[in-house]
Copies of this chain bind each other. A is one copy, B any other.
Amino acid sequence: MKHVLQSVAALCLTLLVSLLASAQTPAPPPEDGKLRIICFGAHPDDCELQAGGVGALWAAQGHHVKFVSVTNGDIGHWREAGGPLATRRRKEVEGASRILGTTVEVLDNHDGELMPTLENRQKLIRLIRQWKADLVLSPRAWDYHPDHRNTSLLVQDAAYMVTVPFICPDVPFLKDNPVFMYYTDRFQKPYPSQADVIVNIDPVIDKKLDALAVMESQFLEGGANGNESFMPTSPKDREVKVARVRQGHAARNLATAERFRKELGEWYGQDKAKQVKHAEAFEICEYGRRPSKEELKKLFPFFDGSGGKSR
């Protein structure tokens, strides 16, 4: 009997591993009452930059967070490009993902060539449905990079449609439109980014910086706008440069806290808000479900210590 069981177990494990290896889209998590969040970025580093902190916070509470890069990032370097770079960057976000406790998927669209097509829209509809998302994050449609703008348009175009049964009838539709929110940015037109929710990421800032540090192609080496001078010339030089990158990333989240200090007060109370150093902010998209503050607190269970599921 024991042998049989052992064999069955062994077989199962083998099959499992083979399945996991072969499956392109990571299997969605079980429906365990935890929150389910899916974040879209244009390139393999965008989600990490914009939601790496809040992602780590959710993950720490056992919620299910998935980062999706809508392009493969294959022109995101000054010396490398194409499939080899795409492969390198997928490994980088997988590394970051392990640090943050999140899941990651990279879609095989050319970097710099993302268009708001029906095909891409439907890919996103399927991903949101398969993740059974409660919350969907994306960039705003006002941004300096055309891929960012088009990622935003694609997510907007997927909003609501995820609830319509006979579009993409091969994937079960969502009964409720998720809440859709935008990452923050510094663009002012046609209207400035708002902080409808703002989260103190001090508890996980080091984890976030560690995760970003994994993406050497982008930050240490400078990505598309880097050049030879970015490359460390010695272990010592490398240390200096890595430190500079971390500092740059931290500064960005410091600036978010500074800019939205008032909103921090609304969520954390004035006293606590003053002490927040690093923050990530999010704006509600009008095309998803319109959450009450109460619902927002359930989706972002970081304001009173609770971590319960919202639905």
Instruction: Give the B-binding residues of A (Cβ under 8 A).
Output: 1-2, 5-6, 8-9, 12-16, 18-20, 22-25, 27-28, 30, 72, 74-75, 77-87, 90, 106, 108, 110, 112-113, 115, 117-119, 121-122, 126, 130, 142-146, 156-157, 159-161, 163-171, 187-191, 224-225, 286-287
Contacts and interface: CB of A to CB of B under 8 A. Distances in A.
21 contacts: A1-B2, A2-B5, A19-B27, A24-B170, A24-B171, A75-B164, A75-B165, A75-B166, A75-B167, A106-B170, A108-B122, A112-B166, A142-B286, A144-B160, A144-B287, A164-B224, A164-B225, A165-B224, A166-B224, A187-B286, A189-B286
B75 A84 contact: no
A119 B119 contact: yes
| Most B Cβ at <10 Å: residue of A168, A187, A286 | A286
Nearest first, the 7 A-B pairs at minimum CB distance are A82-B82, A81-B82, A12-B12, A83-B166, A83-B169, A190-B190, A81-B166
Contacts of A14: 30
A108 B170 contact: yes
A142 B285 CA distance: 11
A87 B171 CA distance: 10
Given A82-B169, A83-B169, A90-B170, 17 more contacts: A1-B2, A12-B15, A15-B30, A19-B27, A22-B27, A22-B130, A23-B25, A23-B27, A75-B83, A80-B84, A81-B169, A84-B166, A87-B169, A106-B170, A144-B160, A163-B225, A165-B224
A2 B80 CA distance: 51
A118 B115 contact: yes
Contacts of A74: 82, 166
What is the total number of copies of this protein in its complex? 6
A168 B30 contact: no
Given A12-B16, A82-B80, A189 B188 contact: no
A285 B6 CA distance: 47
Contacts of A142: 286
A252 to B, nearest CB: 16
Contacts of A80: 82, 84
Nearest to A194: B189
Contacts of A191: 189-191
Nearest to A119: B119
Contacts of A1: 2
Given A27-B22, A286-B187, A169 B12 contact: no
